[in-house]
């Protein structure tokens, strides 16, 4: 029972932190504010998360877990493999926008090997690679995709999407994306998905 209460409290802290980070960005949020949102003292919150950075990382991990779950649901659905790939690419753009709103991403996050975010996104890309490979295999087995596809196709798809993401970061200089910029990214991403999928259909 105590363990359940502890988990519920941890989830409430994460939700309060996510809302704060999304609205104000990491640097402008204090632990005291998050603790107040969940009717806790700062010392009590530190029992669950010893630093603001560890709390922030937990929020990122939770967002990642939610995205992976959504991807799994798409993969396990009955829609054609081409639609699965298109849907996952679209969800990836939405997910990227969430991270920008949390104030997490600067260009340094991708370039600095010492950055926590660098490792975080590299680990995430490994999971993405597995998911995209699964979609491609499903498409080949169903006869929707060609059987002669290069084994590195999934890596190429993610590299193309990564390049579009980096371009967006350069335009917005890391933070506070405007709707026009994100709309342009979505249009480019949809076009890239269309070209890629047309190229692998049987």
Same domain, 66 and 20: no
Same domain, 87 and 153: yes
Same domain, 163 and 91: yes
Total length of the chain: 202
Q: Please, what is the Cα angle at 79 between 78 and 84, to 5 degrees? A: 120
CB hemisphere CA count around 99 (13 angstroms): 27
Residue 68: DSSP 8-state: H
Q: pLDDT higher for 183 or 38?
A: 38
| Spatial distance between the Cα atoms of 185 and 165, rounded to a whole number of angstroms | 8
**pLDDT, averaged across the chain:** 85
Indicate the pTM of the whole model.
Answer: 0.82
Taking Cα atoms as reference points, which of 171, 198, 195 lies closest to residue 183? Answer: 171
Task: Give the per-residue pLDDT at 82.
Answer: 96
Same domain, 70 and 38: no
Tokens of 91: 């969800």
Q: How many domains, the chain? A: 2
Same domain, 33 and 77: no
Same domain, 17 and 85: no
Same domain, 2 and 72: no
Q: What is the pLDDT of residues 74-124, one digit of tens each?
A: 999 999 999 999 999 998 888 887 777 676 555 445 555 556 666 777 788
Tracing tokens 């949809």 back to the chain, one arrives at 190
Domain CATH number, residue 180 = 1.10.357.10
Same domain, 16 and 86: no
Contact at 8 Å (CB) between 129 and 123? no
Same domain, 14 and 108: no
Domain CATH number, residue 22 = 1.10.10.60
Q: pLDDT higher for 27 or 61?
A: 61
CA distances, 175 to each of 7, 154, 181 (Å): 32, 28, 12
Same domain, 91 and 188: yes
Taking Cα atoms as reference points, which of 169, 82, 80, 67 lies closest to residue 128? Answer: 67
Q: Is the pLDDT of residue 160 over 90?
A: yes
The residue range of the domain holding 24 is 1-50
Same domain, 34 and 123: no
Tokens of 25: 């960005």
- Of 29-38, 59-68, 160-169, minimum mean pLDDT range: 160-169
Task: Give the per-residue pLDDT at 56.
Answer: 86
Same domain, 74 and 148: yes
Q: Is the pLDDT of residue 2 over 80?
A: no
Q: What is the pLDDT of residues 129-138, one digit of tens each?
A: 999 999 999 9
Task: Give the per-residue pLDDT at 179.
Answer: 78
């Amino acid at each position: 029972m105590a363990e359940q209460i502890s988990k519920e409290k941890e989830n409430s802290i994460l939700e309060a932190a996510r809302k704060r980070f999304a609205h104000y960005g990491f640097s402008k949020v204090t632990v005291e504010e998050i603790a107040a949102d969940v009717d806790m003292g700062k010392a009590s919150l530190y029992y669950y998360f010893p630093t603001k950075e560890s709390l922030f990382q937990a929020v990122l991990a939770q967002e990642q877990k939610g995205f992976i779950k959504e991807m799994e649901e798409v993969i396990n659905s009955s829609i054609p493999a081409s639609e699965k790939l298109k849907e996952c690419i679209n969800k990836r753009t939405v997910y990227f926008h969430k991270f920008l709103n949390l104030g997490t991403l600067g260009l340094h996050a991708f370039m600095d090997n010492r950055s926590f975010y660098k490792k975080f996104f590299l680990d995430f890309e490994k999971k993405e690679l597995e998911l995209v490979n699964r979609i491609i295999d499903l498409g080949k087995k169903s006869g929707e995709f060609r059987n002669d596809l290069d084994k590195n196709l999934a890596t190429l798809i993610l590299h193309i999407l990564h390049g579009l993401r980096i371009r967006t970061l350069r335009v917005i200089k890391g933070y506070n994306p405007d709707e026009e910029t994100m709309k342009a990214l979505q249009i480019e991403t949809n076009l890239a998905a269309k070209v890629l999928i047309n190229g692998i259909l049987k």
